[in-house]
Structure 1
Amino acid sequence: MLLTGTVVADASTVIEDGAIVVEDERIAAVGEREDVLDAYPDREVRSYDLLAPGFVGSHVHSVQSLGRGIADDTELLDWLFDHVLPMEASLDGEAMSVAARLGYLEMIESGTTTCVDHLSVHHADRAFDAAVEMGIRGRLGKVLMDKSAPDGLQEDADAALAETERLIERYHGANDGRIRYAVTPRFAVSCTEECLRGARAVADDHDGVRIHTHASENRDEVATVEDETGRRNIHWLDEVGLTGEDVVLAHCIWTDESEREVLAETGTHVTYCPSSNMKLASGIAPVVDYLDRGINVALGNDGPPCNNTLDPLTEMRQASLLQKVEHLDPEATPARTIFEMATVNGARAAGFDRVGKLHEGWRADVVGLTTDETRATPLYDPLSHLVFSAHGDDVRFTMVGGDVLQADGEVVVADADAIRERAREVADGLDVAPDQPGR
Structure 2
Amino acid sequence: MLLSGTVIVDAETVIDDGAVVVDGDTIAAVGERRDLVDRFPGHDRREFGIVAPGVVGAHVHSVQSLGRGIADDASLLDWLFDHVLPMEAGLGAEGMRLAAELGYLECIESGVTTVVDHLSVAHADEAFDAAVDLGIRARMGKVLMDTESPDGLQEDTDAGLRESERLIREYHGAADGRIRYALTPRFAVSCTEACLRGCRDLADEYDGVRIHTHASENRDEIAAVEKETGMRNVHWLDEVGLTGEDVVLAHCVHTDESEREVLADTGTNVTYCPSSNMKLASGVAPIPDYLDRGITVALGNDGPPCNNTLDPFTEMRQASLLQKVDALDPRTTPAETVFEMATLNGAEAAGFDRVGALREGWTADVVGVDTDVTRATPLHDPLSHLVFAAHGDDVAFTMVDGDVLYDDGELLTADADDIRRRAREFDVPGA
The one-letter amino acid of 2:54's match is G
Residue 331 of structure 2: aligned partner: 331
**Superposition map of 1:88-99 within 5 A:** 88-99=88-99
Q: Percent identity?
A: 76
**Superposition map of 1:1-400 within 5 A:** 1-400=1-400
CA distance in 2, matches of 1:295, 1:103: 28
CA distance in 2, matches of 1:371, 1:265: 42
CA distance in 1, matches of 2:302, 2:324: 21
CA apart distance, 1:374:
3.9
Residue 429 of structure 2: aligned partner: 431
The one-letter amino acid of 2:348's match is R
Contact 1:374 1:390 in 2 (8 A): no
CA distance in 2, matches of 1:12, 1:241: 35
SS in structure 2 at match of 1:375 = helix
CA apart distance, 1:424:
1.2
CA distance in 2, matches of 1:432, 1:103: 19
The one-letter amino acid of 2:141's match is G
CA distance in 1, matches of 2:374, 2:159: 51
CA apart distance, 1:77:
0.2
The one-letter amino acid of 2:122's match is H
Contact 1:132 1:179 in 2 (8 A): yes
Contact 2:101 2:130 in 1 (8 A): yes
**TM-score for the superposition, normalised by structure 2:** 1.00
Residue 437 of structure 1: aligned partner: none
Instruction: Call closer, same or farther: CA 1:374–1:119 in 2, change over 3 Å.
Output: farther
SS in structure 1 at match of 2:165 = helix
| Deviation digits for residues 337-369 of structure 1 (CA, Å, limit 9, x no counterpart) | 000000000000000000000010010000001
Any runs of at least 4 consecutive aligned residues in structure 1 with deviations exceeding 2 A, and if so which?
A: none
| Deviation digits for residues 6-49 of structure 1 (CA, Å, limit 9, x no counterpart) | 10110011111111100111100000000000000021101111
| Deviation digits for residues 147-173 of structure 1 (CA, Å, limit 9, x no counterpart) | 011110000010000000000000000
Q: Which one is further off, 405-414 or 334-343?
A: 405-414
CA apart distance, 1:431:
3.4
CA distance in 1, matches of 2:69, 2:382: 33
Contact 2:60 2:302 in 1 (8 A): yes
Contact 2:58 2:271 in 1 (8 A): yes
The one-letter amino acid of 1:326's match is D
| Deviation digits for residues 389-430 of structure 1 (CA, Å, limit 9, x no counterpart) | 10100000000010000011211111110000011111xx23
CA distance in 2, matches of 1:373, 1:78: 41
SS in structure 1 at match of 2:291 = helix
**TM-score for the superposition, normalised by structure 1:** 0.98
Contact 1:148 1:189 in 2 (8 A): yes
SS in structure 2 at match of 1:7 = strand
The one-letter amino acid of 1:430's match is V
Contact 1:374 1:394 in 2 (8 A): no
SS in structure 2 at match of 1:80 = helix
SS in structure 2 at match of 1:430 = coil
The one-letter amino acid of 1:59's match is H
CA apart distance, 1:373:
2.4
| Deviation digits for residues 90-148 of structure 1 (CA, Å, limit 9, x no counterpart) | 00001100000000000000000000000000000000000000000000000000001
The one-letter amino acid of 2:428's match is L
CA apart distance, 1:378:
1.0
SS in structure 2 at match of 1:378 = coil
The one-letter amino acid of 1:131's match is A
SS in structure 2 at match of 1:213 = strand
Residue 420 of structure 1: aligned partner: 420
CA distance in 2, matches of 1:200, 1:345: 23
CA distance in 2, matches of 1:31, 1:235: 47
| Deviation digits for residues 45-74 of structure 1 (CA, Å, limit 9, x no counterpart) | 011110000000000001100000000000
How many residues of Structure 1 are paired with residues of Structure 2 in the alignment? 431
CA distance in 2, matches of 1:374, 1:147: 52
CA distance in 2, matches of 1:97, 1:187: 23
> Mind listing any 5+ residue stretches in structure 2 that lack a counterpart?
none
Q: CA RMSD of the aligned region, Å? A: 0.5
The one-letter amino acid of 1:196's match is L
CA distance in 1, matches of 2:31, 2:429: 54
CA apart distance, 1:241:
0.2
The one-letter amino acid of 1:431's match is P
Contact 2:86 2:429 in 1 (8 A): no
SS in structure 1 at match of 2:375 = coil
